[in-house]
Amino acid sequence: MDGHGERPLASRKELSDFLTAVEKRAFKQALFAVRDHDVALDIVQDAMMKLSEKYGDKLAEEFPMLFQRILQNAIRDYYRRQKVRSLWTTLLSALSSSRDDPDSDPLESIESSGISHFDSPEDRLQNRQVIEYIDKALQKLPARQREAFLLRYWEDLDVAETALAMGCSEGSVKTHCSRAAHALAAALRAKGIEL
């Protein structure tokens, strides 16, 4: 203990004590960030599990920094998922006005700043259901359409980057994306969802 590198790793009790001490503060931090009690609770629990599973064998004094990094990443991941999900529903609703042009790229016709956040429990439930339908419909798309759609709207690549990644022309990317988005919108309409 008196030499460098001879310090003992944290015990299970030290890890447990740290998590107990940080839990309420972490929950308040997550709740302030996401403004949803259940989501904040999930984020904190996931962060605590990740610290335990991946870093439980570190030195006890490393826990605060590691936990804070994990918590902040979890909050950022939540917002990224929300942004993507909102973008997808906004994107698919934009198709209503662009059905006449099968090669249009709907992402180019909407402003991401216009994405709405789903605040009420009913809105969140409906959004979750729409995302489940989208996920299922995505699995049924032809491989190239699914690939283009995911690269553009999930990975947030532009048309040129997507074309490079897929080894095809930019026009092909736009066509694949447009067809995928139209197919997804049709699948949602078939479920009675008009975006």
Q: What is the C-alpha to C-alpha distance for residues 52 and 67, in angstroms, rounded to an integer?
A: 10
CA-atom Rg of the chain in angstroms? 22
pLDDT bin (cut points 50, 70, 90) of residue 157 is confident
Name the nearest CA neighbour of 116 among 139, 146, 86, 88: 86
Q: Specify the range with the lowest mean pLDDT, choosing from 116-120, 128-132, 167-171.
A: 116-120
The correct answer on CATH 3.40.50.1220 for the domain covering 82-190 is no
> What is the mean pLDDT of the segment spanning 39-52?
94
pLDDT bin (cut points 50, 70, 90) of residue 113 is very low
Does 114 score more than 50 pLDDT?
no
Query: Which pLDDT score is estimated for 45?
Result: 95
Q: Specify the range with the lowest mean pLDDT, choosing from 133-142, 147-156, 168-177.
A: 147-156
Domain boundaries, the chain: 12-79, 82-190
Query: Which pLDDT score is estimated for 91?
Result: 61
Contact by Cβ (8 Å): 70, 30: no
Backbone torsions φ then ψ of 104, nearest 5 degrees: -75, 155
> In the predicted model, what is the mean pLDDT of the chain?
78
Query: Which pLDDT score is estimated for 8?
Result: 73
The more confidently predicted of residues 84 and 178 is: 178
> What is the mean pLDDT of the segment spanning 77-102?
63
pLDDT bin (cut points 50, 70, 90) of residue 136 is confident
pTM equals 0.47
Only one residue has tokens 């994405």, namely 115
Fold of 12-79: Rna Polymerase Sigma Factor; Chain: A (1.10.1740)
- 110 burial via Cβ count (<10 Å: 0-12, 13-18, 19+): middle
Q: What is the C-alpha to C-alpha distance for residues 24 and 3, in angstroms, rounded to an integer?
A: 35
Q: pLDDT tens across 5-45, in order?
A: 556 777 889 999 999 999 999 999 888 888 889 999 999 99
Name the percent of the chain lying above pLDDT 90.
29
Query: Which pLDDT score is estimated for 92?
Result: 62
